[in-house]
Structure 1
């Protein structure tokens, strides 16, 4: 038996298997391609072998960063992109680069830099899952790292002040969301009916932004105006992560309840019809059955006339 692959990542809440975007990318890709990962939820980053998550461990091999983890899974024959053409593969790389340049800075700002969101949601959530005294230090460290990452990519000329940087990253993020919405259209996934690497990245970046109840919702409000991206996140959560969640998402639960109600109504309708048919049979004149010797059916006719035969 092959040794199990273990994935260290932050845990989940609000209907998400993980609230951490990059952890969600790897978890979604593993579900898409059927990779057997054992998920280990951590309570602080120093428990991860390299001090950051997500981290994949197989025997003595330790891999961090989503792109490297996904490449490793492909080498292990777990490839969600095996049906993509060369052009689609190139499009995947281009869109992932766009996500990391245009959308990720705004996601990081929403979680870790926006003061109301950080002090009311992000910091309390992470602090409640980190043992004291690290709960006082680690969220602040993660916030500083997020701000440094934003300024490293967006803080150069002509944007010098933090206010200018914030305005620009949100403009870029909204344009990116519009582009993703137009690219997805009415398809279930970005390359048709099967999820791929691009779907894993988009889901990982969008799902926390979509589900976490922030007080400042500038980017979240824009996302919710793009219903196909919201349905995209809901469908992946329901189809690929339902068994790991304590319950379905509110929108997903409404769909499940509606379908269950329709099914119940259909069963009741069929039951009433069968009862009426039974009553009619009881009231109708009864005829003695024919003798089998009087039935002359060919082999083909016998098969086609069988009362138990199911139509395709």
Structure 2
């Protein structure tokens, strides 16, 4: 028996199963590949100070980072990319690298560095999900990590301060969104009618930016002008994360079994009716003729 899969991640809000991009990537891919995960939000626990999420537990194995978790799930035969060609696989790696290089710095700045967004949305949300005294520590620690990552990756000479790199990172992010919109075009997913790991990454990066109520964000405004990307996010939420819209139709065999069950119930009901009529008509001259006709009807239904 395969070991159970447990995913630790930040919890959901804003109509999303998680507000955390990396956690959303794993959650979406698990839906696409059919992996059954037990989701354990780390909200209100001491793990918020030390845990690196998302974190997948399977028996004695502990896997972190979305790319590593997706690789682990593929080894467990949960593969959403099995129909991709070699060219599409290469394109997937290229676009994920583009997301990391061009879009992630702008997302970090939008949620963690922009003073208005941080004060009014990000810090209150994460503080409310962490117990005292971590409600003071967790948001500031996350913000410091975001700022450091932006400066390390984008603060090349002569741009050394965050105010000097803002224009560059948002220009790169808008260019990335335009490229994604052009690549998606009018298709449902990036490689046809079935979602793949690239769709999981794009959804994980875009959905929080699209759904969060940000007081200040030119990047969010730009995303909302790209209708195919916003429809892409809404479609995945509706198909894979809505209880009212199951992602897959019932299997054909289940439909056949349901029809057979209904037919059996109909036959049993008719048989019970026949027995009651037999009791009422027993002894009458018409009894034998009526019984024979009723039995013939039941035989026709069951054939």
- For Structure 1 versus Structure 2, the TM-score category normalised by the shorter chain is 0.7 to 0.9
Structure 1 stretches (4+) deviating beyond 2 angstroms? 44-50
User: What secondary structure sits across from 1:47 in the alignment?
Assistant: helix
Q: Are 1:95 and 2:95 counterparts?
A: yes
User: What corresponds to 2:33 in structure 1?
Assistant: 33
CA distance in 1, matches of 2:115, 2:48: 28
- Relative to structure 1, the CA distance from residue 182 to residue 168 in structure 2 (aligned partners, 3 Å threshold; closer, same or farther) is same
Aligned counterparts of 1:82 and 1:126: Cα–Cα separation in 2: 37
Change (3 A) 1:151 1:46: farther
Preserved CA contact (<8 Å) 1:48 1:55: no
Query: Which residue of the partner structure matches residue 68 of structure 2?
Result: 68
After superposition, the Cα gap between the structure-2 partners of 1:12 and 1:217, relative to the gap in structure 1 and judged at 3 Å, is same
CA RMSD in angstroms, aligned pairs only: 1.5
What is the DSSP-based 3-state SS (H/G/I as helix, E as strand, rest coil) of the residue aligned with 1:242?
coil
Contact kept, 8 Å, 2:53 with 2:64, in 1: the verdict is: yes
Shift of 1:47: 2.2
Q: Partner residue of 1:17? A: 17
* Kept after mapping to 2: 8 A contact 1:8/1:48: no
3-state DSSP of counterpart to 2:242:
helix
Structure 1 CA distance for aligned equivalents of residues 190 and 21 of structure 2: 19
Show the counterpart of 1:214.
Answer: 214
- C-alpha displacement at 1:156, in angstroms? 1.3
Distance 1:45 1:168 in 2: 37
Question: Relative to 1, partners in 2 of residues 1:29 and 1:50: Cα closer, same or farther, differing over 3 Å?
Answer: farther
Q: Structure 1 CA distance, aligned partners of 2:170 and 2:213?
A: 18
Q: Deviations over 1:222-271 (max 9, x none)?
A: 0000000000000000000002xxx99xxxxxxxxxxxxxxxxxxxxxxx
Once the two structures are TM-superposed, the CA of residue 3 in structure 1 deviates from its matched residue by 2.1
The 8 Å contact of residues 49 and 134 in structure 2, kept in 1 or not, is answered as no
Where does residue 135 of structure 1 map in the other structure? 135
Report deviation, 1:44: 5.7
C-alpha distance in 1, partners of 2:112/2:5? 30
Give 5+ residue unaligned stretches, structure 2: 246-303
Map Cα deviations across residues 111-134 of structure 1 (whole Å, 9 max, x no partner): 100000001000001111100110
Contact 1:8–1:55 (CA under 8 A) maintained in structure 2: yes
Instruction: Report the counterpart of residue 174 of structure 1 in structure 2.
Output: 174
The whole-number CA distance in structure 2 between the counterparts of 1:49 and 1:133 is 11
Per-residue displacement from partner, 1:96-147 (whole Å, max 9, x unpaired)? 0000000001011111000000010000011111001100111100000011
Rounded to whole Å, the distance in 2 between the matches of 1:236 and 1:225 is 19
Q: Quickly say closer, same or farther: Cα 1:222–1:56, change in 2 above 3 A.
A: same
Contact 1:25 1:200 in 2 (8 A): yes
Aligned mates of 1:160, 1:128 — CA distance in 2: 33
2:101 and 2:42 map into 1 onto residues whose CA distance is: 28
Aligned length: 245
Question: Is residue 102–residue 169 contact of structure 1 (8 Å, CA) maintained in 2?
Answer: yes
State the secondary structure of the residue aligned to 2:67. Answer: helix
CA distance in 1, matches of 2:44, 2:106: 24
TM-score, normalization: structure 1? 0.76
SS of the aligned residue for 1:187 comes to coil
Counterpart CA distance in 1 for 2:45 and 2:73 is 23
Aligned-pair CA distance for 1:157? 1.5
Query: Is the CA contact 2:151–2:161 (under 8 Å) kept in the aligned structure 1?
Result: no
Q: Counterpart in 1 of 2:281?
A: none
